[in-house]
Copies of this chain bind each other. A is one copy, B any other.
Amino acid sequence: MLIIDCHGHYTTAPDKHTQFREQQLAYLKDPLLPQPAYVRVSDDEIRETIEKNQLKLQRERGADITLFSPRASAMGHHEGVEATSIEWTRACNDLIKRVVDLYPDNFVGVCQLPQSPQVSLTNSIHELDRCVRELGFIGCNLNPDPSGGNWTSPPLTDKFWYPFYEKMVELDVPAMVHVSASCNPCFHATGAHYINADTTAFMQFIQGNLFKDFPTLRIIIPHGGGAVPYHWGRYRGLADMLKRPPLDEHVMNNVFFDTCVYHQPGIDLLVNVIDNKNILFGSEMVGAVRGIDPQTGHYFDDTKRYIDALKIADDQKHAIFERNARRVFPRLDAILSARGL
């Protein structure tokens, strides 16, 4: 059995990469500054940041391969203008490609998209195509709120998003719904904005008809589905009140939750309430919560431990760790199959 972590970010990218972003944003504020040029990071710099962090933790915790995307909180779709987002996104995705090329057994690429508030998805369509066809990526992170906490885009079920979904279907890649940093002081990024976005997206799917229009579209809602599994009765009841079909027919053929829930009772509930076929192993590491849980003596985000501890059949664990990810990400399955895995 392979252990596939569907949710990992390059949160430890080399300083040069991060400095480029700082310079890019500074230049936007003050055009008298020198226009920043991207300084290529060396392979050794990448190795240094990966081997001491994601690769080390992968090995220690016993995962085999991570679906790896740029740092979500740094996507910053609300910063700058359309060209800012395009330039930064290409740099981030190209860096992920280099990680994958250095460690092809350990990482597969998932791309950031060059979204911007009030801008069509044309740039994102082009970047998704480039990342999948040219860089070999297998999925993307789609931000339902590129305004960074002001929620000025239409719901994910709106026709605004349809051209992007058409490209996803054409390429047969799923999207993880993932917001970036919050510029709204009400919302802490990882403590409120992320979880709220997950909850919000799920409710939009209940209200809309997205999966009737795109029956093969596949969406991962991270962080254990936000508040949704905990409030599963509320969502089943709301679907009924709103005269929508039952969730199993209406949403759950297309929507999947990861296991980024950082304590055993949460994972227990997730696996108890949500169908086994809809759960993908994920850790979000190195990510939102980096410390050790004093109650267990283990890292909060060592989510494999929680799955290992579940009293469910081995076959169900196999689905969570490997099979569901291979089904939701057919291009991952093709890569692994070509390797005889």
**Whole-angstrom distance between the Cβ of A153 and the nearest chain B Cβ:** 7
Distance, CA A200 to CA B207, complexed state (A) = 23
Check if B195 sits within 8 Å of A227, measured CB to CB.
yes
Judge whether A312 is part of the interface by a CB distance below 8 angstroms. no
Distance, CA A231 to CA B261, complexed state (A) = 6
Distance, CA A91 to CA B167, complexed state (A) = 53
Interface residues of A, Cβ cutoff 8 Å to B: 144-145, 149-151, 153-155, 184-188, 190-192, 195-196, 199-200, 203-204, 206-207, 223-224, 226-227, 229-238, 240-241, 261-263, 265-266, 268-269, 272-273, 288-291, 293, 295, 300-301
Residue of B nearest to A266 (CB): B230
**Whole-angstrom distance between the Cβ of A83 and the nearest chain B Cβ:** 26
Contact of A261 among B184, B207, B234, B263 (CB under 8 A): B234
Distance, CA A192 to CA B231, complexed state (A) = 11
Residue of B nearest to A196 (CB): B196
Report if A200-B206 is in contact (Cβ < 8 Å); known contacts: A191-B234, A288-B238. no
Check if A262 sits within 8 Å of B288, measured CB to CB.
no
Check if A186 sits within 8 Å of B151, measured CB to CB.
yes
Q: Could you name 26 residue pairs across A and B whose Cβ atoms are closer than 8 Å? A: A151-B186, A151-B187, A154-B186, A186-B204, A188-B203, A188-B207, A190-B238, A191-B238, A192-B196, A192-B200, A196-B196, A196-B199, A199-B199, A224-B231, A227-B230, A231-B266, A233-B262, A233-B263, A233-B289, A234-B262, A234-B300, A237-B289, A237-B291, A241-B290, A266-B269, A269-B269
Check if A232 sits within 8 Å of B191, measured CB to CB.
no
**Whole-angstrom distance between the Cβ of A248 and the nearest chain B Cβ:** 12
Check if A230 sits within 8 Å of B230, measured CB to CB.
yes
**Whole-angstrom distance between the Cβ of A235 and the nearest chain B Cβ:** 7
Check if B238 sits within 8 Å of A293, measured CB to CB.
no
Check if A291 sits within 8 Å of B240, measured CB to CB.
yes
Cβ–Cβ < 8 Å partners of A231 in chain B: 195, 223-224, 261-262, 266
Distance, CA A149 to CA B230, complexed state (A) = 22
**Whole-angstrom distance between the Cβ of A216 and the nearest chain B Cβ:** 25
Residue of B nearest to A303 (CB): B233
Distance, CA A223 to CA B234, complexed state (A) = 10
Distance, CA A207 to CA B288, complexed state (A) = 15
Check if B191 sits within 8 Å of A265, measured CB to CB.
no
Cβ–Cβ < 8 Å partners of A235 in chain B: 191
Check if A266 sits within 8 Å of B191, measured CB to CB.
no
Q: Which 10 A-B pairs have the closest CB atoms?
A: A233-B263, A233-B262, A227-B227, A237-B289, A230-B230, A191-B203, A196-B196, A237-B300, A192-B203, A192-B200
Contact of A266 among B188, B232, B288, B301 (CB under 8 A): B232
Report if A145-B186 is in contact (Cβ < 8 Å); known contacts: A234-B262, A262-B234. yes
